[in-house]
Amino acid sequence: MTTIKGVNLTAKKQLRIALTDIYGVGITRARQICLSSNVDGAKQVKDLSDPQIENIRAAVAEFVVEGDLKQEVRSNIKEKMALGTYQGKRHRYHLPVHGQRTKTNAKTQKKRGKKR
């Protein structure tokens, strides 16, 4: 089993798809990682050799992913809430933040925002 940044990659998936299991890595960044580590993205994870896995780990380490990224996002949200910005207020009341329609949509988000 291959572990990168604390995430176990599925052995039967192609590398470029399996890398998207890491928080902060989408399909575009997965392609960049494959190119920079000189590994074919169409290979399955189970077919990778140890040097290839180390190259991939080094390439992923160049980006802010997983715990560091989650912590950064959380701190940005807390900062907006502390400053009292519009987005911070929306976060505080558990409402949609990015201008979505709320008259007919966002039922779940509004339900979570009710004070109990």
* Rounded distance between C-alpha atoms, residue 49 and residue 2, angstroms: 10
Give me the domain span that covers residue 27.
Answer: 2-64
Of 4-8, 55-59, 68-72, 97-101, minimum mean pLDDT range:
97-101
Long-range contacts, 86-92 (Cβ 8 Å, 24+)? none
What is the domain count for the chain? 2
Question: How large is the average pLDDT for residues 39-65?
Answer: 94
- For residue 35, pLDDT over 80 is answered with yes
pLDDT on residue 36: 95
> Does residue 105 or residue 63 have the better pLDDT?
63
pLDDT on residue 71: 96
Residues 54 and 83 in one domain: no
Q: Of 64, 89, 105, at which residue does a domain stop?
A: 64
Q: Of 23, 43, 64, at which residue does a domain stop?
A: 64
Angle, nearest 10°, between helix axes 50-61 and 27-36?
120
pLDDT on residue 113: 62
pLDDT on residue 116: 47
What amino acid occupies position 107? K
Rounded to the nearest integer, the mean pLDDT of the chain is 91
Question: How large is the average pLDDT for residues 47-68?
Answer: 94
Half-sphere exposure (Cβ direction) of 30: Cα atoms closer than 13 Å: 20
* Rounded distance between C-alpha atoms, residue 104 and residue 43, angstroms: 45
What amino acid occupies position 95? L
Task: Output the domain CATH number for residue 45.
Answer: 1.10.8.50
What's the token pair of residue 102? 């709320």
- Distances, alpha carbon 78 to alpha carbons 75, 98, 103, 111, in Å: 5, 16, 27, 22
Residues 58 and 109 in one domain: no
Residues 9 and 21 in one domain: yes
- For residue 55, pLDDT over 90 is answered with yes
Residues 18 and 51 in one domain: yes
